[in-house]
Amino acid sequence: MKKFFLITLLFFFLGCYNDERLKINELNFSDLNQKSILKNKIKKTFLISGFDSGLYKENDTISIVEYNRIGKTEKVWRKSLMYSINEEYKYDSLNLETQKIYFTDFKAMFSFRYEFNKDSLVLYKYYTKPSFGFSKEDFTIPAGIFKFNDNGNIVESFEYQNNDYGKGKRLLTKYYYDTSNNLMSKEILYKPSNTDDIAKDSKEITDYYYSNKKLDSATSTFSWTDRENQEQSYTISYIYDDNKLISKSIAMDSLVTYYKHIKY
């Protein structure tokens, strides 16, 4: 009888046990743009040049971004010097990217799967077939590693650029928050790929600014060392409207790009 009572008590406590560890669908990738696109039901964004250059004329459409119903990027078209660049994305039921197709003068496809470690709060991303030009070893080594804090906010990530050079550059990103969990800064370190003819690291630091707890602007500073070992840099400022959507960007204090958002 005593044994039966202890077993019953054990099952009672097991039934009451609540696993409070974060689940994969609770992870926050701190994609501020995606959140605003979703909230405002944006279907498509046109980027329009506000200046003349060797590649663009004023009022030229230089990029078009299409979104799905949850605000994730679905298609991207960009004007380039030699040919247009197109990208297509697919996602799983958890809104994780499962495929990227990159079109230039040829097509490169990248497919992914994920594994989440609840104890360490690390999400691992792996290449799967079909993917472009990889060896067998590439499918066993993580193509991306995403680390999260106890609040579910991403704090560090590593992944590849994935373009027509194959894996492309390696991106190491670090995220910084204030005490209210607002994203304050994001730092991206670009490491050259084996096929990159510029064997130098480059860096992008984006600072976010809030007014009355509302995102109103951001500034990205790009810096690198050129082939003559000279330090180079430039900045892009982003201005947000009242709906937290980017309304325009200003590169190097004078080159303006306007953002036109179309709703569903």
Residue 12 confidence (pLDDT):
52
Distance CA 104, CA 110 (A): 14
Span 242-255, average pLDDT: 95
Which pLDDT band holds residue 14 (cuts at 50, 70, 90)?
A: very low
Burial of residue 117 (CB within 10 Å: 0-12, 13-18, 19+) is exposed
Return the closest-CA partner of residue 199 out of 207, 211, 191.
191
pLDDT for res 55: 76
- Helix, strand, coil share (%) of the chain residues, nearest 5: 10, 50, 40
Higher pLDDT, 3 or 191: 191
| pLDDT value, residue 5 | 55
Question: What does the alpha-carbon distance between residue 254 and residue 256 come to, in Å, rounded to a whole number?
Answer: 6
How many residues in total does the chain contain? 264
- Mean of the per-residue pLDDT values of the chain: 89
pLDDT band at 192 (very low <50, low <70, confident <90, very high): confident
Q: Are 200 and 226 in contact (CB under 8 A)?
A: yes
CA 48/CA 64 separation, integer angstroms: 9
Tokens of 186: 């994001």
Q: Are 206 and 223 in contact (CB under 8 A)?
A: no
**pLDDT tens by residue, 51-61:** 888 778 889 99
- The 10 Å Cβ neighbour count of residue 190 is 20
Percent of the chain with pLDDT over 90: 70
Residue 11 has pLDDT above 90, yes or no: no
Task: Enumerate the β-bridge partners of residue 253.
Answer: none
Residue 36 three-state SS: helix
